[in-house]
Structure 1
Amino acid sequence: MIPEVWFWEDGVLEVYYLRKEDKALHYERVSSSEEVKGIDLDLLLCCILMVNHVDAIKTFQQAL
């Protein structure tokens, strides 16, 4: 089982977490990662959309 999946499509980043209700499993959209605690998804998306990859890496690293 994969506890969390991320989808990036058309400039939108969505995170889904695997939940168990009764005996059924389903993915629920969540606003923050439960597997990567503390990650700023808005910053990550901003960096993903940057044209210059070096600038994107520097920006993300500076925020850590």
Structure 2
Amino acid sequence: MRLVKIGALLAAMATITACGETMGQQAVIGAGAGAATAAVLDGNLLAGAAIGAAGNTLYCQSRPGRKC
């Protein structure tokens, strides 16, 4: 079971680096990945979504030429 959680966590973390075309898309992609990560780790889904949205938006905005 632990290996499944680690695999799901890695997949969710990889999703965070996906950049959408707009800031809204970046936030939604990050929120989904953050919530999924929180669910796998039995954490707070709302906090995971907020951290994921902020993290992905900041990442994508700091690298405007990156296309995923």
TM-score bracket, shorter-length normalisation: 0.3 to 0.5
Bigger relative contact order, structure 1 or 2 (CA pairs below 8 A, ≥6 apart): 2
Higher strand proportion: 1
Higher helix proportion: 2
